[in-house]
Amino acid sequence: MKISHIEHLGIAVKSIEEARPYYENVLGLTCYNIEVVEDQKVKTAFFKCGDTKIELLEPTCEESTIAKFIEKKGMGIHHIAFAVEDGVAHALAEAEGKGIQLIDKAPRKGAESLNIAFLHPKSTQGVLTELCEK
Ligand code: ZN
């Protein structure tokens, strides 16, 4: 696969409202989009930081994987998302061929209408990894 850059870092927070002043008032970043992704049961807030974005993830219910993550590990970095130039479907097939366990067998729509797919942290050295393309 061909990765161009880190598209975003996903950070689990209990409350976007409470986390936002840190990113805006201390780091000086600007929140340019807040969006609920229903099928992932998360509310997301995006901040631009050069070519990379910070994606805050707030659970919308207790069954959300983000709620479970926070319960287990506390708030903090949840995943790293790489932009792939040659397509998520292609990257997934390549990763699977190299023995990587996939969470998503096929690309799906994530926040900001990107095609996304996740690789399982069990086979990515402990880091939940997202691949995405425009
Ligand atoms: Zn993400």
3-state secondary structure labels for all residues of 62-126:
CCCHHHHHHHHHCCEEEEEEEEECCCHHHHHHHHHHCCCCECCCCCEECHHHCEEEEECHHHCCC
Rounded to the nearest whole angstrom, what is the distance from the C-alpha of residue 97 to the centroid of ligand 1? Answer: 23
Write down the pLDDT at residue 98: 97
For residue 113, pLDDT over 90 is answered with: no
What is the distance between the alpha carbons of residues 129 and 91, in angstroms, rounded to a whole number? Answer: 12
Write down the pLDDT at residue 110: 84
For residue 111, pLDDT over 90 is answered with: no
pLDDT tens column, 96-109: 999 999 999 999 98
Rounded to the nearest whole angstrom, what is the distance from the C-alpha of residue 28 to the centroid of ligand 1? Answer: 21
Higher pLDDT, 28 or 114: 28
Write down the pTM of the prediction: 0.92
Rounded to the nearest whole angstrom, what is the distance from the C-alpha of residue 56 to the centroid of ligand 1? Answer: 9
Rounded to the nearest whole angstrom, what is the distance from the C-alpha of residue 111 to the centroid of ligand 1? Answer: 8
